[in-house]
Amino acid sequence: MTKLAFMFPGQGSQTVGMGKEIFEQHDEVKSLFRRADELLGKSLTNIMFEGPKELLTETENTQPALLLHSVAVHEILKKHNIQASMTVGHSLGEYSALVAAGVMSVEEALPLVATRGKLMEAALPSGKGTMAAVLGLDEEKIQSVIDEFSNEEIVDIANLNCPGQIVISGSRIGIENITDKLTKAGAKRVIPLNVSGPFHSRFMKEANDEFATHLDEVNFHDGEVPTYANVSAKPVQNKDEVKKLLLQQLYSPVRFEQSIRQMIDDGADAFVEVGVGKVLSGLVRKIDRKVKTFSVQDDASLQKFLQWYKEVN
């Protein structure tokens, strides 16, 4: 049987109208969305379908919206007897990956990620922190520029996405000041990202300390399949280990490229992006262009994937 790796997108993939088509076509998605609205005490469904974009982009809405959409698509895949051999998520997507792996229930995950979003948003006054994508430099070179950066402003490596694409995170002044130094060190471009805070940097430490108390309330289970952790890029199934790694995740770099390489080494035949967009599929192709990728977010993309799956199995 084909060994499938399911990937779950993170913040930035959200779009107004997300999930509307599958909601209208699948009864199990309707009931899942209604349950989410009850759990969160507001109509996340309306925010997802109608926006406005500014409301959907608020981190406390974005995170449960992305998780809900991913879990809904995963439910449809399960209905077709499509099972993952391993899962991975990008930042917030790690929670969707853990729901898919059976580590936590969607009922517990939704309010948890809404709280995560709220705490991340509150970690630094609005506009004080940001992120930027550095193109064309490796981790070692970027880290050496950061280390030489004697300025007192905080800048950290946040996401290691694919060869030549690394995201840095920190204070707005710090990111602005280091941009020129990175360009002089050989970066092709340093692109400011439209984000609401310095995620996966030391600024998130305080949010994380509070978030830990909410994680303590979640009923963790051992994973049915391994999830490749953002922090270590290694497969984990043990519930205590999963929790320990999640406690470090908010302020640690997302080692996405390393995770994908490890999954390929561990026998993944195809990568399926479960949820909104094609960002992760694009990154996988940059990591290894020989690997088969799919993104499943609506019925058209589902049918395309199912057709391939039937042919190879």
Q: Catalytic residue numbers?
A: 91, 200
Task: Specify which residues 44 forms β-bridges with.
Answer: none
Virtual CA dihedral for 26, 21, 283, 58, nearest 10 degrees?
Answer: -110
CA 93 to chain centre: 3
Which runs of E-coded beta strand occur in the chain?
Answer: 4-8, 86-89, 129-135, 155-162, 165-171, 189-192, 227-228, 235-236, 270-274, 292-296
* Long-range contacts (CB closer than 8 Å, 24 or more residues apart) made by 185-188: 185/137, 185/141, 185/144, 185/145, 186/136, 186/137, 186/141, 187/134, 187/135, 187/136, 187/137, 188/135, 188/136, 188/164
| Per-residue buried b or exposed e for 150-161, using 16+ beta carbons within 10 Å of the residue's own CB | eeeebbbbbbbb
* C-beta atoms surrounding 71 within 10 Å: 23
Instruction: Determine the residue type at 242.
Output: V
Q: What angle do CA 89, 109, 280 make, to 5 degrees?
A: 15
First to last CA, the chain: 6
Say if CB 257 and CB 160 are below 8 A apart.
yes
Question: What is the rounded distance in angstroms from the CA atom of residue 268 to the CA atom of residue 6?
Answer: 10
Helix (H, G, I), strand (E, B) or coil at 216: coil
